[in-house]
Structure 1
Amino acid sequence: MNGPLRLVLFDVDGTLVDSQAGILGAMEAAFEAVDMAPPDRETVLGIVGLSLPLAIQRLGPDLSAVMHQRMEAAYREAYFTQRAELGAGHSPLYPGALEILDRLHGTPEILMGVATGKSQRGLDALIEAHGLERYFVTRQCADHHPSKPHPSMIATALSETGVAPEGAIMVGDTSFDMDMAAAAGIAGIGVSWGYHRPAALSGARRVIDGFEALPGALDEIWKESLA
């Protein structure tokens, strides 16, 4: 080991994998369950990263709790059915993601984890579908934490890995990810290929346009933070 232990936390949907087709299809099923038309694509993708109950509440603020529960059940059923049919093709990895995970995994002082609004069931299935089990030493999901941008996921990941806040960086595509990083006292790197527009990532220390730029951005931030 050549330096202090470091941690890179990744968001999943819109950062590591492109799951928008499954999310949009499942949300359409959720609104059909209460006989309503779904919001437009941009509105639906704008809530990606939140836990499902909070996402449903934001998209249907005037609906009853019973209707929200019906929508959540319909969403989960549709999403898991699609995933079972399509396997890894349901949420393909973004170009360059696997190569960079391999590169970071090969650096002894770098640990990796995920912090996602997905359920434990959904996260485990996605990791298995893409064969990513060996990469992530900490996996934080919506089942065990308040929704982003609450810092609980990051705080738990830091505790589990023993990494100091200045050695940790959150990589994500939404303002929720960057706000969560700020709330936890760590740096955030935004990615431009996800579901929130780059202009929404104002809290990021860096915004990158491709996975190949991630190692350099990490090194720059760590040099600043650990100097």
Structure 2
Amino acid sequence: MTHPPVTHVLLDLDGTLSDSSAGIGRSLIHAFSECGYEPPDDATIRNLIGPPFEVSLPKIGVHVDDLERLIDTYRVRYDDVGLFENDVYDGVHEMLDGLRSAGHALTLATAKPEHVAVRITEHFGLTGYFRAQVGSSPEVGSSRRTKAEVITEAFRRLGIGAHDRIALDHVVMVGDRDHDVEGAHMNAIDCIGVSWGFGSHDELLGAGACAVVDTPAEVVGAVAATYRSRQT
């Protein structure tokens, strides 16, 4: 008997599994002040969370010549204390249990530097849920910084061929920002958006999310519905 491929669920970290806004915000304010910039307000900080800073910071006035220094200054504080100024969203453990009980293989796929992401999942007792944990390379300008590049690396570690349509039809991304959706589409997979993070329904649907859910309890059903719809 031929068994169907395992369904792989790729999960974002910031804004999907945990609310990292306090640590990121305080570390950004510190870095902006140290580098001579007016610190961003809370709304701007929330909008910055998710994409790589070298993409988002120039959009709010950081000069390209200051990017590396500001990001390095941010990381000094964040890597020391900011990463633990963070809370797992209510219902996330139950969501992960439900996905695993449904037979899905779970992989962390975050644009956060991988070594930092691993420290966070270890701190919150999430490591055991994941078959692989994939993050960005920490160096600005490296070959693995965007969500699309992170997903491509996740495929490599999971042994999923970039042109294997059967395998790709059994992979879905779950994330809270438009770059999660766009990165998924660049790798020819669907993305389920979550509205409890830093994005909105309009942002996620506008980017092409196949569905948007409002609570972690809805994710298991949304993953199942994605594959039922492909079979009809």
After TM superposition, the score normalised by the length of structure 1 is 0.88
After superposition, the C-alpha distances for 1:67-98 in whole angstroms (9 at most, x for unaligned) are 222211221112123247xx4xx211111101
Q: Could you tell me how far apart the structure 2 residues matched to 1:95 and 1:199 are?
A: 23
Q: Could you tell me how far apart the structure 2 residues matched to 1:148 and 1:47 are?
A: 14
After superposition, the C-alpha distances for 1:26-46 in whole angstroms (9 at most, x for unaligned) are 110111012221222222222
Q: 1:142 to 1:60 in 2, by over 3 A?
A: farther
1:197 aligns with 2:203: no
Q: Could you tell me how far apart the structure 2 residues matched to 1:176 and 1:95 are?
A: 24
* Matched position secondary structure for 2:173: strand
Matched residue, 1:128: 122
CA contact (8 A) 2:11 2:108 kept: yes
Q: 1:17 to 1:76 in 2, by over 3 A?
A: same
Q: Could you tell me how far apart the structure 2 residues matched to 1:136 and 1:74 are?
A: 30
After superposition, the C-alpha distances for 1:2-47 in whole angstroms (9 at most, x for unaligned) are 6321110111001100000111111101110122212222222222
Identity %: 29
Q: 1:155 to 1:30 in 2, by over 3 A?
A: same
After superposition, the C-alpha distances for 1:187-217 in whole angstroms (9 at most, x for unaligned) are 1100111112221002110100001001111
Matched residue, 1:43: 44
Deviation, 1:57, is: 3.4
Q: Could you tell me how far apart the structure 2 residues matched to 1:154 and 1:120 are?
A: 13
**Aligned mate of 1:92, from 70, 87, 94:** 87
Give unpaired runs (5+ residues) of structure 2.
161-166
* Matched position secondary structure for 2:98: helix
Tell which deviates more after alignment, 49-58 or 206-215.
Answer: 49-58
Matched residue, 1:214: 219
The one-letter code sitting in structure 1 at the alignment partner of 2:15 is G
* Matched position secondary structure for 1:146: coil
- The structure with the greater share of residues assigned to strand is 2
Q: How many residues align?
A: 219
Q: 1:39 to 1:217 in 2, by over 3 A?
A: same
* Matched position secondary structure for 1:137: strand
* Matched position secondary structure for 2:87: coil
Matched residue, 1:29: 30
The one-letter code sitting in structure 2 at the alignment partner of 1:212 is A
After superposition, the C-alpha distances for 1:91-111 in whole angstroms (9 at most, x for unaligned) are 111111011112222333x11
CA contact (8 A) 1:49 1:148 kept: no
Give unpaired runs (5+ residues) of structure 1.
none
After TM superposition, the score normalised by the length of structure 2 is 0.86
Q: Could you tell me how far apart the structure 2 residues matched to 1:74 and 1:153 are?
A: 24
The one-letter code sitting in structure 1 at the alignment partner of 2:156 is S
Backbone CA RMSD of aligned residues: 2.0
